[in-house]
Structure 1
Amino acid sequence: MAAPAKTVSRRRVFYIPGYDPIHPRRYRELYRTESAAQSEISDYTVTLSARQGTERYGWNVKGLMDGVHVDASVDVLVWSDIVRDSMDTSIPATYLQLMRTAWVYIGTGALWRLMRLRKGPVIAALYPVGMLLGQFMIALLLAGTISMVGKAALIPLLGLFGHMISLASAVGAFVWLMRWFKAKDGKFFAYYLMHDYAYGAATRGANTPALETRIAEFSDAVAEALNSDADEVLVVGHSSGAHLGVSVLADLIRAGRVPADGPALGFLSLGQVVPMVSFLPDAHRLRADLAYLSTQDALTWVDVTAPGDGCAFALCDPVAVSGVAPEGKRWPLVFSAAFTQSLSPERWKALRWRFFRLHFQYMCAFDNPKDYDYFRITAGPMTLAQRYRDRPASKSRIVKPVNKFTSIAP
């Protein structure tokens, strides 16, 4: 491919993770290993170097693609501390979250409307409910068995004291097994996902004060980059980070902080789960930001999902399905990363049932990349607008509004 007449030589990238409590070095290692794999497949060069002494965690990237050298600086916009605080709950508190979250989604009718979009992410949302209830029942069954056996063996010998011993043993076994399940949540992901869905449901879709403060800080960081000598400023929002990116950029443009003669501004939303929040009654702020951002000329917004990702609302236009598409809507451009076509049959077979791994595939290497390549986007010589200027939206995208709650003001 010939290099375009106007190429990017310097890029600032801001990555907004999803609901993830893990240190951002995870994203650096993912970028390092997967860019190396994609470089071998696609015959280009991407190298990473550490960055020290900066306000935000990040790394530097040098890309050599299509004969053009590109320097990119990647910053992770961290909100993992907010995530960890929301996850710092006891076992009883988590089960209370379960009941409250189920009440919000079922009682408002949001769950049934979400199922009309994609069943995959709704099943993913129901998984922690079923798993936590299953764990509770197993622990209860163990406790009941121990109590029954204990009573049969001890009451004839010890009377009331034997009854007390069997009861204490049953309670101890119940508590031990419940704690064991929580300790092994790195395998089950039940508590993790429950906290994820409970976070938005706790406020019925509104942002917490802590999250609003962080969004303002993210906007400041992007605004600073827009006044630098970069050729492009690219915001990447993954999973829950996609709807944070919507609000960050809407605030930025509303405030007139995007210079007309500054760097090109791009927004890449990946594996988005916007409807999980925008379909809730009090998500006025998010719905207003979606409607506003969809009409703006100041940026290019590309939304990439894939039906193979069961955790995302694949090919659902987040503005349209939320019922807030205004006159003059331009964004986002919605298309599929087409996992089944861009991954080899062997690799697809190996990954097909690894749902959480597939949810991160957008930032990983593809065996047969088509027009979506995360590393060309972040370290290549074309802006997001140039790369997808002539790219049509996927014909199978979903644009029918199904949201019951469409107000954009409290």
Structure 2
Amino acid sequence: MTRPFRRHVLYLPGFDPIPPRRYRELYRREGAEQARISGHRIKLSGARQGPNFGWTVDAEIEGRPVAATFEVLQWTDIVQASMGRGILGTYGLMVRTFWIYMASGAVPRLMRLRRGPVLAAFYPFAVLLAQLLAAVLAAWLVAWALPLGWFALPPALAAFWGVLVLGRRLDGRLFAYYLMHDYAFTAVQKGAYPPALEDRLAAFRRRLSDLLDDDLDEVLVIGHSSGAYLAVSLLADLLRERPARARPALSLMTLGHVVPMAAFLPDADRLRDDLGYLSRASGIFWLDVTAPGDACCFALCDPVAVCGMGDDRQKWPLVVSAAYTQTLSPERLARLRNRWFKLHFQYLCAFDRPGDYDYFAITAGPLPLAERFAGRKPSPGLITRPVGARP
């Protein structure tokens, strides 16, 4: 009987306050759909408990058996703690975040790369300001309708606050507060990692180091969105501590990265150094996947080069496009139109016209990442100009 290919996947989510079980259910649902389309056999079982929630997958893809274990590297509690501010606190964060990005000169440099993610970043500012203006208008209307002089002030203030509270309660649909806290989490530290996150990265590094001593064929680290740059720092820390060995293969896949949003800030020296170090590292394979159809990422921007950390020794990452216009049917693209979050998470989902990027073949298939993408050239349209270089 053929020994299954053994892989351990460490998935590092972005700024996400929702418990990690959602990622198992997403994998279950989308994996079944990809299996139907591509002829894979994918079976999920069990739920790994402990500090990092996970699950196991038994699969047969491309004619070979695979046994994969998934772990979600959790920092949900840190995200939730950072979102604990109320309405007034969020507006204070909005002002502070806007000032930091503008005063540091990050915004014009980001605009020189991709306007889409920068305009998307202005969305929560626009929504929160619109809610504030609506609250002011409601207060004025109440005061005008009740010509009671100073006695009209309490009902006017109640109307003002009521509109703001309504806006907060609608955030499950609008996501303005969520996104504001996302950008503020990075901005208030000016690109540095807060101590709680540094401690968590150290715990992740210990877990990754332990896995490299197991009887595995590949350890695959996946970072999505802001989790992409955390994954870069995680691997850079590990490789500084211990060099990679031939087995198990150590691979990194970054999906839908927003690296410049952090690395262009003035105190992001740690991240910039990690990018430069990892780009020259031996013993790993680093694949970066983005899509121009994802307005929330810096599509086809080499995260090392655009931050000014590339040089003639740079080997990584291999930057490829998920090419939504080719890998998704027109009907599916039509259903996803203007659904920013869905498009930003499409990397973790099924493609009805899959190309060489197939999340389920990569995570539950029988080939290490380096072998699967051997000889692959970067996608056309690659952006490497170092607009985020330090002066």
Fold agreement, TM-score > 0.5: yes
CA contact (8 A) 2:309 2:389 kept: no
2:262 to 263, 270, 277: 277
Structure-2 residue corresponding to 1:160? none
Secondary structure of the structure 1 residue equivalent to 2:68: strand
Q: Deviations over 1:118-159 (max 9, x none)?
A: 0111011111111100100001101100011111xxx3xxxx
The number of aligned residues is 390
Aligned counterparts, 1:11-410, within 5 A: 11-151=7-147, 155=148, 163-256=149-242, 258=244, 260-405=245-390
**Alpha-carbon deviation of 1:7?**
9.1
Note the residue ranges of structure 2 that are not aligned, 5 or more in a row: none
Secondary structure of the structure 2 residue equivalent to 1:103: helix
**Alpha-carbon deviation of 1:103?**
0.6
Distance verdict in 2 for CA 1:185–1:177, change over 3 Å: same
Distance verdict in 2 for CA 1:299–1:330, change over 3 Å: same
Give the % identical residues.
52
Q: Deviations over 1:191-216 (max 9, x none)?
A: 10000001111011001000100111
Amino acid at match of 2:375: D
Note the residue ranges of structure 1 that are not aligned, 5 or more in a row: 1-5, 156-162
Q: Deviations over 1:317-343 (max 9, x none)?
A: 000000011331000000100001100
CA contact (8 A) 2:306 2:389 kept: no
CA contact (8 A) 1:223 1:257 kept: no
**Alpha-carbon deviation of 1:405?**
2.8
Q: Deviations over 1:258-285 (max 9, x none)?
A: 3x24300000000000000000000000
CA contact (8 A) 1:8 1:383 kept: no
Amino acid at match of 1:376: A
Q: Distance in 1 between matches of 2:297 and 2:51?
A: 31
**Alpha-carbon deviation of 1:55?**
3.8
Amino acid at match of 2:146: G
CA contact (8 A) 2:246 2:283 kept: no
Moved over 4 A (4+): none
Q: Distance in 2 between matches of 1:117 and 1:261?
A: 36
**Alpha-carbon deviation of 1:387?**
0.4
TM-score computed with the length of structure 1 as normaliser: 0.93
**Alpha-carbon deviation of 1:53?**
4.3
Amino acid at match of 2:81: D
Q: Distance in 1 between matches of 2:19 and 2:317?
A: 30
Q: Distance in 1 between matches of 2:210 and 2:103?
A: 43
**Alpha-carbon deviation of 1:81?**
0.5
Structure 1 or 2, whichever has the larger Rg, is: 1
Amino acid at match of 1:173: A
TM-score computed with the length of structure 2 as normaliser: 0.98
Secondary structure of the structure 1 residue equivalent to 2:146: helix
Amino acid at match of 2:189: T
Q: Distance in 2 between matches of 1:305 and 1:13?
A: 19
Secondary structure of the structure 2 residue equivalent to 1:176: helix
**Alpha-carbon deviation of 1:44?**
1.1
